[in-house]
């Protein structure tokens, strides 16, 4: 039997290091803190960790504005601390993936400091510079995801520079081959150090339209998507020209060729495009990214029909690639609040964990998701996220999903000092210490992952959805001689699911007991149910 790559069907645990564990008492999580907690992560039964940025940065966007791709920011520790994390993770059987933010840098990066000084220096063409229009306005109508125009005036050059995110995050000019090579060199630095994979942030934003054409307007009825508030003008355009350009495919192929020199190394691309599913399929074709994920399951829509349509649409287009699914991360409201309201139940939390781990693909689990943590309420005066500050109160930003992990009985244990974000009072009862008992979300998740790891149908098999009335989501997973029937009741009331019960040979998992009635399975509220047949 051919051995599948480790990452196919893997469960990847995302660590947001600022909020995981503080070891030096400054109120901010760090790499030595992560080192302390690696046994906890390994004990979950996951296959890998993905560590959000820990590189040198002024922290305007909390690490996604990088000033030195090869240096650890002192806030998080040292390069030697990272080496210790890497070595210990490997001892525990965990693969290590790190973020790489290739499309833009910080304004504090040496490349940008040189580039902005003049139009004829060695780095002059390393960023996206453009002359103003005759009236002094920006060269086109492109907008920033974080609000307002995507161009910032630089008086030294008397030109505008492009920033798809914050003004302190200037976009690199990937049309310049030197920039592409520099990006690959930085990636190689970490591959040489022994990392097992890369999560590529906003990877479809590397190239822009060289002609700087205006984006067309988007009708009001279509202004939906990732975290957009009704008054965020970013949603008012079709973003045909400021990202997702055809030249990016060739760059991905060169990047893949580099990664193929490191056996087992994997690339996971974050993709947010006008048609993210189609772009994900295109970006994961042979010779490009190993895996991709988009934001379709990170939004507010939680119906069985939406989940089925999303997976089926991607499956139809991704004939050769491999998907990765997630329901929560550091950029979106926590899923139990997003899909369950202000008082989500533990049954919802465990159901959603099992659901995402039963889809065909790999899975990213965000820290605290295994505890069933809801979104934290952050008062305006404590908000640190520039996105939330700009769009308060309609959109409160991303701080509510970034609060520190609750470790101890009282929800503390993260730091001996005041934490950089307040620890939510609602998280204390859900702390790691309080969930060391049978029946908790944490313990049930651990048990499920141990069982899942032995099921070839769930780790790498096929998927076929079955007709079921919303709110029931049902599908078949199959591999080799194993065939599993998987069903979820996504509502708070019992639901019937008609299925030939005589075909079922064994019920292998129930989040709560189901019953049978007149040839149908009656799934309990928020029930998860798996059977062999």
Alpha helices in 345-462 (DSSP H): 346-358, 386-391, 441-452, 456-460
Q: Pick the catalytic residue: 73, 99, 201, 385?
A: 201
Alpha-carbon gap, residue 531 to 533, rounded angstroms:
6
Q: Which residues pair with 472 in a beta bridge?
A: 489
User: Rounded to whole angstroms, what are the CA distances from 55 to 73, 160, 187?
Assistant: 5, 27, 13
Q: Which residues contact 528 (CB under 8 A, 6 or more apart)?
A: 350, 351, 354, 355, 487, 488, 509, 510, 511
Place of tokens 């893997």: 10
Alpha-carbon gap, residue 61 to 469, rounded angstroms:
43
Q: Which residues contact 490 (CB under 8 A, 6 or more apart)?
A: 302, 303, 304, 351, 470, 471, 472, 473, 526
Does the N-terminal peptide bond of residue 471 adopt cis geometry, omega within 30 degrees of 0? Answer: yes
Q: DSSP string of 138-157?
A: -SS--B-TTSSBSEEEETTT
Q: Is the dihedral of CA 453, 459, 464, 467 positive or negative?
A: positive
CA atoms within 13 A on the CB side of 416: 4
Q: Pick the catalytic residue: 73, 99, 171, 270?
A: 270
CA atoms within 13 A on the CB side of 229: 15
Clarify whether 201 is annotated catalytic.
yes
Q: Is the dihedral of CA 336, 338, 339, 341 positive or negative?
A: positive
C-beta neighbour count of 278 within 10 angstroms: 17
**Is residue 371 within 8 Å of 432, Cβ to Cβ?**
yes
Alpha-carbon gap, residue 68 to 202, rounded angstroms:
18
Phi, psi angles (nearest 5°) of residue 171: -80, 135
The secondary structure of residue 355, as a DSSP letter, is: H
> Token pair of 21, please?
């564990």
Query: Which active-site residues does the annotation give?
Result: 201, 270
């Amino acid at each position: 039997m051919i051995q599948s790559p480790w990452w196919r069907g893997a469960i990847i645990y995302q660590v947001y290091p600022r909020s995981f564990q503080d070891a030096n008492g400054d109120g901010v999580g760090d790499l030595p803190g992560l080192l302390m907690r690696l046994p906890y992560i390994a004990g979950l039964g996951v296959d890998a960790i993905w560590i959000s940025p820990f590189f040198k940065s002024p922290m305007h966007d909390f690490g996604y504005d990088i000033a030195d791709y090869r240096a650890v920011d002192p806030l998080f520790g040292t390069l030697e601390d990272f080496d210790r994390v890497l070595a210990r993770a490997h001892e525990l059987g965990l693969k290590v993936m790190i973020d790489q933010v290739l499309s833009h840098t910080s304004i504090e990066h040496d490349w940008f400091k040189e580039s902005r000084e003049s139009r004829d220096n060695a780095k002059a063409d390393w960023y996206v510079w453009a002359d103003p229009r005759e009236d002094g306005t920006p060269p086109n109508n492109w907008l920033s995801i974080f609000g307002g125009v995507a161009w910032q005036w630089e008086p030294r050059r008397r030109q505008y520079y492009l920033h798809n995110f914050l003004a302190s995050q200037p976009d690199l000019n990937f049309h310049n081959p030197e920039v592409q090579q520099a990006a690959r060199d930085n990636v190689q630095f970490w591959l040489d150090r022994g990392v097992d994979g890369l999560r590529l942030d906003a990877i479809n934003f590397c190239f822009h339209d060289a002609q700087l054409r205006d984006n067309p307007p988007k009708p009001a009825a279509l202004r939906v998507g990732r975290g957009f508030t009704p008054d965020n003008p970013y949603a008012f355009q079709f973003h045909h020209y400021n990202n997702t350009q055809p030249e990016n495919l060739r760059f991905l192929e060169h990047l893949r060729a580099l990664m193929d020199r490191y056996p087992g190394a994997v690339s996971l691309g974050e993709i947010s495009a006008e048609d993210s599913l189609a772009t994900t399929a295109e970006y994961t074709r042979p010779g490009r990214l190993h895996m991709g994920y988009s934001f379709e399951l990170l939004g507010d829509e939680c119906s069985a029909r939406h989940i089925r349509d999303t997976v089926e649409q991607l499956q139809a287009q991704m004939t050769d690639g491999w998907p990765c699914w997630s329901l929560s991360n550091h950029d979106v409201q926590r899923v139990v609040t997003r899909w369950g309201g202000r008082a989500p139940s533990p049954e919802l939390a465990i159901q959603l964990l099992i659901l995402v781990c039963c889809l065909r693909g790999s899975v990213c689990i965000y820290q605290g998701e295994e505890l069933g943590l809801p979104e934290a309420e952050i008062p305006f005066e404590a908000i640190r996220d520039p996105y939330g500050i700009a769009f308060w109160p309609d959109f409160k930003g991303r701080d509510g999903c970034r609060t520190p992990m609750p470790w101890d009985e009282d929800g503390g244990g993260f730091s001996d000092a005041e934490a950089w974000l307040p620890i939510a009072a609602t998280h204390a009862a859900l702390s790691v210490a309080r969930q060391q008992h049978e029946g908790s979300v944490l313990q049930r998740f651990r048990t499920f992952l141990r069982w899942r790891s032995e099921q070839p149908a769930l780790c790498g098999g096929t998927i076929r959805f079955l007709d079921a009335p919303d709110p029931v989501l049902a599908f078949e997973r199959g591999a080799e001689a194993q065939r599993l029937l998987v069903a979820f009741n996504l509502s708070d009331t019992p639901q019937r699911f008609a299925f030939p019960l005589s075909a079922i040979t064994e019920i292998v998992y129930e989040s709560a007991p189901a019953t049978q009635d007149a040839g149908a399975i009656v799934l309990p509220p928020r029930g998860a149910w798996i059977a062999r047949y």
